[in-house]
Amino acid sequence: METELEVLCDYIRSETGYRGEIGQDIDLLDQTILDSFSVVQMALFIQERFQIELEAEDLVRANLANLSRMVELIRRKRQASADSPVAG
């Protein structure tokens, strides 16, 4: 099973064609690996692939500029979902 980090790297490579090193802490925007449009696409991919709901306050540079922060966001949202009571 692929880790969140591997899934995100694979997505970036397939969507952007980027073949260089993608360190988990490099700023993907500063390094021009992602642009503002691809960050939006990335957020949509994260929601679909990891079955989480991102809120407006989640869609900030601090959460989406590097892979380690994206993984933290995914895990935080999964945990919040697991901790919330099931409606019924």
What are 22-71's pLDDT values in tens digits? 999 999 999 999 999 999 999 999 999 999 999 999 999 999 999 999 99
Assess whether pLDDT exceeds 90 at residue 10: yes
Superfamily name with CATH number, domain 4-82: ACP-like (1.10.1200.10)
Mean of the pLDDT values across residues 84-88? Answer: 65
What residue segments make up the domains of the chain, in order of their start?
Answer: 4-82
Distance CA 16, CA 48 (A): 18
* pTM over 0.75, yes/no: yes
| CA gap 75, 9 in Å, rounded | 16
Six-digit token pair at 36? 């503002």
Give residue 85's pLDDT band: very low, low, confident or very high (50, 70, 90). Answer: confident
Residue 69 gets which letter from DSSP? H
Q: List Cα–Cα distances, 2 to 6, 10, 46, 51, in angstroms.
A: 6, 10, 14, 15
